[in-house]
Structure 1
Amino acid sequence: MKRPLLSVVMPVHGGGQWLDEALASVQAGDRDEVEIVIRDSSPGKSCESIVMRHAGRLRIDYAYLPEIPSWTRKTNMAVKAASAAHVCHLHQDDLWLEDRLAVARQMIAAAPDAALFLTPALIVDGRGKRLGRWRPPFHDGFIDSADYRDALLVQNSIAIPAPIFRRNAYLAVGGMDESLWYTPDWDLWFKLAKLGPVYYDSRAVTAFRIHKNSLTMTGDRRELAEQMDLVLERNLCADGKTERISRTSAKINALLSDAALGHPYAMIKAVAIFLLLGPAEGSRYIRYSRIVERVVPRIKLRFAGMI
């Protein structure tokens, strides 16, 4: 088999509800153009039959690893096993959109030396209904490294199914930090950008699903705050322009997570912290954090009783 253009890594655990839809969304090109690397720890091989239904259409490298429930560990293993020079994530509850493969070809051709390629993503609910668009605060083409760092320090505005990255860069930075469960992707985007240019295309070609069973909804809230602070400490620098906004953003994110779980005063506290930024920094926070794009879909789902 020829070397694929793109390897898609999928860490799977109990993904029966949406895995079939995720795999069905992948465009295979000439079948050998895309490789799906799946590392599955689902109880009782409950997802293996779903994967096998797609084996005739997709080029799949599947391994069952019940002893490794960690999604970051499975992701690192999958990237090491990948055949392509360029890799992307697709979690079991997310989706490709129609032009994903075509846009991937175009970006790689336009910027072959880039370490990281970014696009926006649609936000969808448990039924796949569109709720909004999640857009990083960048313009098409290469992103200035300082602008990239400062914006990303305020908020991880990159939906995990959207980026494509060079496999050799991923391996060179050690992949995902397996001690993190909430922020390993945010940490990774900083590390990859240190090894090469970052290229942005404003077309949304993936979808990120919000639902009540996601790890960000069920994980330990104290650890969530600690992990955000850890990534900030690793990447804040003396010449950065957004340190105060970044630290405020981390506090607001933790409070919004509490509010999503029904804590009555968390939203009031978040608003109060935001107001302390003042008009200038508050405006930058709104732009970099994409808070409206992130929060409005969740409010819609909350009113619909879906989260």
Structure 2
Amino acid sequence: MPTYQGQRWIDAALRSVAAEPADGIEILVLDSSPNSETLDIVRRYDSLLNLRVMKRDEASMWHAQTNIGAERAEAEHLCWLHQDDLWLPGRIEAIRKWIEKAPNAALHLAPSVIVDADGRTLGLWRCPLEKDAEIDSSEIVQRLIVQNFVSAPAPVFRKDAWLFCGGLDEALWYTADWDMWLKLAALGPVHYHSEATTAFRVHNSSLTVTGAGKIEEFSQQMQIVFDRHLPTLAEIDNCAEAAGRASIRVNAALAAASGGDFSLLAPAVAAVLGLGPLGVARYLRDSRIYDRMAPRLRAKFAGAF
């Protein structure tokens, strides 16, 4: 758990973890807050959880903290939980079943429930994958190159695979997780599980929202990952490539619109329509744009964003 000024959310996050069977679970909290408020809340859980708390430099970014946590974790399988997200009842039991069924899988994926700032359910964020199935590496990369459809708290991955991939790219403040899922997926079959055991919180201080003020850099973050992984496809899928390029334009347009600039929306829609019927269908399937955007719009219109 990388934390920074997390006093608004951290109690709910840790309470959701403490509600699960704690045996065999280690929680590493790496905090870079300039004051003690976040860690004061964390330490209330000393008697309930197997906590290891590390105070980091205030300048440490979330991905740098996550890399340190992954390196120092003692478990063979890891996941991360940001301070504003939640575990749902049954997560530990589910994870143990996943690992028992496929202990050598580098990556396990699953959907997440989307909740608002007050914890109310807004929708379900799914992956465009077969339910409860092993997915071939090439197929997952073909779909994931279009859009990061992975909710960060949901995946479980092998520590050795993470370290082999070099961890999170600390130059990517927004797309480091997308880059990581693509790296892990390239190592071999990925297992997808249809049960949602995490909740992803949408609110007005998330990276997507705060990144809206620097659209050029925001777009560049996505372009770097896209350009890095496109050549790794066994066969260049022109449809996936075109859909991925359009997806970057749509994501940038939506981020700009969230900051009040609507000028990029029409060109983004035109880019999607220019894909043709098959390309549009591919984009809609792999981008999960409805799953991602509808809950945010509901939260915004309800005043709970």
Common fold: TM-score over 0.5: yes
Check if 1:56 corresponds to 2:54. no
Moved more, 174-183 or 186-195: 186-195
**1:179 partnered with 2:177:** no
1:225 equivalenced with 2:219 (yes/no)? yes
Q: Which runs of 5+ in 1 are unaligned?
A: 1-9
Shifted more, 206-215 versus 43-52: the winner is 43-52
Aligned match of 2:105 in 107, 114, 118? 114
Question: Are positions 1:205 and 2:201 aligned together?
Answer: no
8 A contact 1:13–1:69 mirrored in 2:
no
Does the CA contact (< 8 Å) of 1:87 and 1:164 recur in 2? yes
How many Å separate the matches in 2 of 1:240 and 1:23?
Answer: 43
Structure-2 residue corresponding to 1:79:
70
In structure 2, C-alpha distance between the alignment counterparts of 1:164 and 1:240, rounded to whole Å: 28
Return 29-38 or 110-119, whichever deviates more.
Answer: 29-38
**Aligned residues of 1:113 and 1:196 also touching (Cα < 8 A):** no
Aligned partner of 2:236: which letter?
G
Q: Residue 220 of structure 2 aligns to which amino acid in structure 1?
A: E
Which TM-score applies when normalising by structure 1?
Answer: 0.94
Letter in 2 for 1:293: D
| Cα offset, 1:93, TM superposition | 0.1
| Residues 179 and 225, structure 2, Cα contact 8 Å, conserved in 1 | yes
Say yes or no: does 1:156 pair with 2:148: yes
What amino acid is the match of 1:119? A
Residue aligning to 1:4: none
Correspondence for 1:240? 236
Q: In percent, how many aligned pairs have the same letter? A: 46
Q: Distance in 2 between matches of 1:215 and 1:262?
A: 16
Task: Letter of the 2:264 partner, please give it.
Answer: A
Q: Which moved more, 1:62-71 or 1:186-195?
A: 62-71
- SS of corresponding position for 2:58: coil
* Aligned match for 1:272, one of 270, 273, 276: 270
Deviation at 1:161, TM superposition (A): 0.1
- Whole-Å separation in 2 of the counterparts to 1:205 and 1:68: 32
1:29-56, Cα deviation, whole Å (9 max, x unpaired):
5533211001001121221111111110
Match of 1:286 in 2: 284
**Secondary structure, in 3 states, of the residue corresponding to 1:44?**
coil
CA offsets 1:91-143 (integer angstroms, 9 cap, x no match)? 00000000111110010001011000000001110000011110011112210
Determine the structure 2 residue equivalent to 1:302: 300
Q: Displacement, 1:172?
A: 1.1
Note if contact 1:25-1:96 (Cα within 8 Å) is conserved in structure 2.
Answer: yes
Q: 2:243, 2:272 within 8 Å by CA — same for their partners in 1?
A: no
Contact 1:68 1:74 in 2 (8 A): no
Aligned to 2:145, the other structure's residue is in SS state helix
Which blocks of at least 5 consecutive residues in structure 2 are unaligned?
none
Q: Which residue identity is paired with 2:180?
A: L
CA–CA separation in structure 2 for the residues paired with 1:48 and 1:135: 33
Residues in 2 aligned to 1:27 and 1:47: alpha-carbon distance in whole angstroms = 17
- 3-state DSSP of counterpart to 2:113: strand
CA contact (8 A) 2:29 2:54 kept: yes
SS of aligned partner of 1:34: coil
Superposed, 1:90-129 pairs within 5 Å as: 90-129=81-120
Aligned to 1:293, the other structure's residue is in SS state: helix
Indicate how the Cα distance of structure 1 residues 287 and 117 shifts in structure 2: closer, same or farther if over 3 A, else same: same
